[in-house]
A and B are shown apart, each in its own frame.
Chain A
Amino acid sequence: MTTASAPLTTARGEAALGRVSWVRNPWVVFLARRLGRLLVSVAFLVTLAFLMIHLIPGDPVRAALGISAPPELVAARQESLGLNDPIVVQYVNYVKALFSGDLGVSMTSGVAVSETIGQRLPASAGLAAGAFTVVMIVSIPLGLCMAVLTRGGRRRGTELGFTSTSAVVAAIPEFLLAVGLVFVFGVTLGWLPVAGRDGLSSYILPVLALSLGPALLMARIVRVEALSVLEQDFVRTARAKRLPHWRVYLRHVFPNALTSTLTIGGLLLSAMIVGTVLVENVFAWPGMGMTIVQSILSKDYPLVQGIVLVYGVAVLLVNLLVDLMLAVVDPRSTIREA
């Protein structure tokens, strides 16, 4: 995940900071570099969101209002959206507005986009957070157990069962799992609510649908990583110290499998954040995912833009968090070497 932009930002960072002594502190350099990368990514995201509207062939306002809309209304709307200004001016205005927290106004409801997002965000965030927690709680112990059970080619049957089951389940996309869960627990058994957000029980199915695949995928990765760590010399050293098995696994094997677990965990979390879009639409979950689909369908572009920005920033923050955690967890990582 080291990007080509990294050298660029360091070079700039170091030039700006001059000869101040704390520049030597690898943590400072690391943080500066990482924040620089975040800024570049956010700029990319904002540009993407801005261009989204301008790349639409034809006139977005006409497209949104329909062919039958009176030309005066179209013109007025274009004016109010500033679409008649030169594109550079529009871009500058867009970025300026963003800085003041203004995401624009919905073209269909006239409500401020930020207000709608504020209402919808908690439901989506709750879903993603719940699913991520389940993934972590399930996958790490499961993966470690599987590694221990199947180490050195033991229990081929268990290994085959685990790898094939997890491969198949992980290959099922979340919205199909969701449909399956609705069928089993809603339609057939009638145990759990299948639509809407109402109390804790309404979380169960959407969270399961979101987390099942990633949890098994992650467990596979933890297992493979732990198995490869088990082959390392320092595990032999730990065995030579005659430590209890649990200590060897928890203290020596797991922390060294953590790097890739975290990396993959971050990717899974970003995918899950966006995966909520589909799951929300299966469960009629009143989050941003429902809203973005509705607003794409009704061509409410400012709202789409706003939600895309929120998803994008959430993903970038997850990436940043993962990088920071990696830096803390792995003493050999970039920071110290910087």
Chain B
Amino acid sequence: MRLEHWRSAMRSPVGAVAATLLAAFAVLAVIAPMIWGDAAEETEPAALSQGSSSEHLLGTDALGRDIALRVLVATRFSLGLALMATSISVVIGIILGVLPAVLGRRTGRLVVAVVNLAVAFPALLLALVFAVVFGIGSHGAVLAIGAAGAPSFARLVQTNVASVAGRDYVSAARVAGVSRLRLVVRHLLPNIGEPLVVNATVMAGTALLAFAGLSFLGLGVQPPSYDWGRLLGEGLDRIYLNPAAALAPGVAVVLAGLAFTLMGEAIAQVVGIRTGMFRTLDAAPVPVARAESAGDDDAVLVAEDLRVAFPAAGDGWTRPVDGVSLTVRRGETVGIVGESGSGKSLTALALARLTPENAAVSATRLEFAGEPLLGRSDAEVGRLLGTSLAMVFQDPMTSFNPSMRVGAQLAEVTRTHEGHSREEALERAVDRLRKVHIPVPERRARQYPHEFSGGMRQRAMIGMGLMSTPSLIIADEPTTALDVTVQRQVLRLLRDVQRDSGAAVVLISHDIAVVSQMCQRIVVMYAGRIVEELPVDQLASAAHPYTRTLFGSVPDMTTDRERPLATIPGRPPDPGARPGGCAFAPRCTFADERCAEAPELAVVGARQRAACWHPRQEPVPVTAAAETGDRI
């Protein structure tokens, strides 16, 4: 814990409250016994067991002693005992925690095993056992609570030690022949200090509560000494006469316990255990009223000026998708290519109305089969798209619900949208699994996703899309997470499905080779916009400088797919910090003053549009792989 950590912990509201409370308790602990110590012992035979009065704010106990003063004075004993018990837990915990690292393998394991066995039992049970061993009274209780808290702290130390034990500097020290003990003291413990401090703080709160519990039961502090728990126990007997006598020490215990817990939380937050705040969306751009329709009866999907914005740090918005217009006709295959961060995946999600909760989507027009999608409730969108739009996501490993059988996940679609019975739906699921070449589909349908290989899962995902009769399949990087050989199978399947069902396909990929083999038309995205649109047979006449570099560097099946565009110097701009004008200008060899203004998509050839002030005319030096296409 560095000093600035403490400081920023204090500055958070929670930390400030906790620190104030703790400081107040500390002051009380020091001064209360000095000022009121004697007065709290004073018995007043004339005022036994009284309720609250002007003289005794919280009344008196059975011997006529002032309860308010006794609660204040008890602060020192209550806190002191809790802190002592905590130190015992921490010391034993650290010793037990590092022992496995110091001792040899076998003995180390034994220590771990014993700690694990002890952790299984609630601390209170252990405290009761130890209270028997160490005897009734404050000493016994300190030892008992300290010992009872030790196993969980030891476990914490063990896990933390294990997490740093593999780090480089530890290995280096080990290789250098540093003794085990020194390794622990110099290299391991200092590096796990933060979680230990946090947990020791929280533990102090727990110890305080536990102590109050033991004293309340009569197993802790014995008269004539008193702590809050003791006062509480005495007060409870007379709660009908004077409730304050029971409530006041109770409140003190709760406040002190909370102060420690909150302090721990505040430190934990500063040290960086939790981060990430979401902002609300009240400033979200409103969907713009839709413009006149372009009368494209043939279109499955029409998007005009589609924008997706997220609330950014500060007050602004980042716009990863910034004005995309796209039309997909029936049965057509369109590829969207671009580097990661170009906004292509988010475009796909926005087209399907599946953007994350905090995204603001707007468009002058977004229609599916002639029906507008924006400004409708989820239920309406569900009815429109449920049976006619299928999605295939990038990572088949995480895109299936791990706790549900694959068959049931497929069957769900028609059960929901076509009102099929469980059996009917499952039958169809098995049929679709067979269609996507899953062997023994009857058995496979009863299995869980983790029993499928990656390629099989992706095929099952495609099968899921085929449960109804989709008119559009949006596949977002469907092969990126798969092995090269499996990639081909999945692509081939997608193409067969497309041919059989007549559905349109939007294939999103960073991989030109994949897209050029699958699609009729290619849409190139850069920095949230479409920079060029062209038929796949005209790749050689690409006009936009970015597209040209992209196609010029087409990888074949053996190149590293993660870095296909290494040949273009520079990196795509961050959505938060896009230059005005043409976003490609900083990387473009043809850029001039004119490019400071953003170029619009304009027709540059037959069925070809590009957003560039200086479209190229000479043919692209396309590599062999892209030309022959290595057809799938």
Q: Enumerate chain A interface residues (CB-CB to B < 8 A).
A: 3-5, 40-41, 44-45, 48-49, 52-53, 55-57, 151-154, 156, 168, 171-173, 175-176, 179-180, 182-183, 186-188, 232-234, 236-245, 247, 251-252, 255-256, 258, 270-271, 273-275, 277-278, 281-282, 292-293, 296-297, 301, 304, 308, 311-312, 315-316, 319, 329-332, 336
**A45 contacts which chain B residues (CB < 8 A)?**
121
A332 contacts B217, CB within 8 Å? no
Max count, chain B CB within 10 A of own CB: residue among A49, A237, A273, A297: A237
Residue B385 lies at the interface, judged by CB distance under 8 Å to chain A: yes
B240 contacts A297, CB within 8 Å? no
What is the bound-complex CA distance between A325 and B218, given in angstroms?
39
B250 contacts A242, CB within 8 Å? no
Given contacts A52-B129, A171-B254, A237-B401, contact A41 B117 (CB under 8 A): yes
B354 contacts A240, CB within 8 Å? yes
B357 contacts A152, CB within 8 Å? yes
Q: Closest CB-CB distance, B418 to chain A, in whole Å?
A: 12
0/1 interface trace, chain B 115-126, chain A, CB 8 Å (1 if under): 011101110110
B236 contacts A296, CB within 8 Å? no
Max count, chain A CB within 10 A of own CB: residue among B120, B254, B399: B120
New contact pairs (4) apart from A188-B243, A241-B464, CB-CB < 8 Å: A171-B258, A182-B239, A242-B381, A256-B401
B386 contacts A242, CB within 8 Å? yes
**B236 contacts which chain A residues (CB < 8 A)?**
179, 182, 282
Q: Which of B125, B212, B398, B461 contacts A232 (CB 8 A)?
A: B398
Q: Closest CB-CB distance, B555 to chain A, in whole Å?
A: 26
Q: Closest CB-CB distance, B594 to chain A, in whole Å?
A: 41
A179 contacts B379, CB within 8 Å? no
Given contacts A3-B116, A233-B398, A236-B399, contact A56 B125 (CB under 8 A): no
Q: Which of B121, B131, B247, B416 contacts A244 (CB 8 A)?
A: B416
**B398 contacts which chain A residues (CB < 8 A)?**
232-234
**B300 contacts which chain A residues (CB < 8 A)?**
none
Residue B86 lies at the interface, judged by CB distance under 8 Å to chain A: no
B128 contacts A275, CB within 8 Å? no
What is the bound-complex CA distance between A214 and B116, given in angstroms?
23
23 CB-based A-B contacts, threshold 8 Å: A4-B113, A4-B116, A5-B116, A40-B117, A44-B114, A44-B118, A152-B356, A171-B254, A171-B261, A173-B212, A175-B212, A176-B232, A182-B236, A256-B402, A270-B120, A275-B124, A277-B124, A278-B213, A281-B216, A297-B136, A308-B125, A331-B402, A332-B450
**A282 contacts which chain B residues (CB < 8 A)?**
236
Q: Which 9 A-B pairs have the closest CB atoms?
A: A153-B278, A152-B357, A242-B382, A242-B386, A233-B398, A240-B391, A331-B448, A3-B116, A255-B403
CB nearest to B277 among chain A residues = A153
> Which applies to chain B's interface (DSSP): helix, strand, loop or mixed?
helix
B403 contacts A331, CB within 8 Å? yes
Given contacts A41-B117, A173-B212, A301-B132, contact A179 B250 (CB under 8 A): yes
B113 contacts A3, CB within 8 Å? yes
Given contacts A236-B393, A274-B124, A331-B448, contact A255 B254 (CB under 8 A): no
What is the bound-complex CA distance between A171 and B112, given in angstroms?
29
**B254 contacts which chain A residues (CB < 8 A)?**
171-172, 176
What is the bound-complex CA distance between A312 and B239, given in angstroms?
33
B358 contacts A153, CB within 8 Å? yes
Q: Closest CB-CB distance, A124 to chain B, in whole Å?
A: 13
**B383 contacts which chain A residues (CB < 8 A)?**
242
Residue B135 lies at the interface, judged by CB distance under 8 Å to chain A: yes
Residue B257 lies at the interface, judged by CB distance under 8 Å to chain A: yes
**B116 contacts which chain A residues (CB < 8 A)?**
3-5
**B412 contacts which chain A residues (CB < 8 A)?**
241, 243, 247, 251
What is the bound-complex CA distance between A237 and B243, given in angstroms?
57
A296 contacts B385, CB within 8 Å? no
What is the bound-complex CA distance between A154 and B279, given in angstroms?
8
Residue B352 lies at the interface, judged by CB distance under 8 Å to chain A: yes
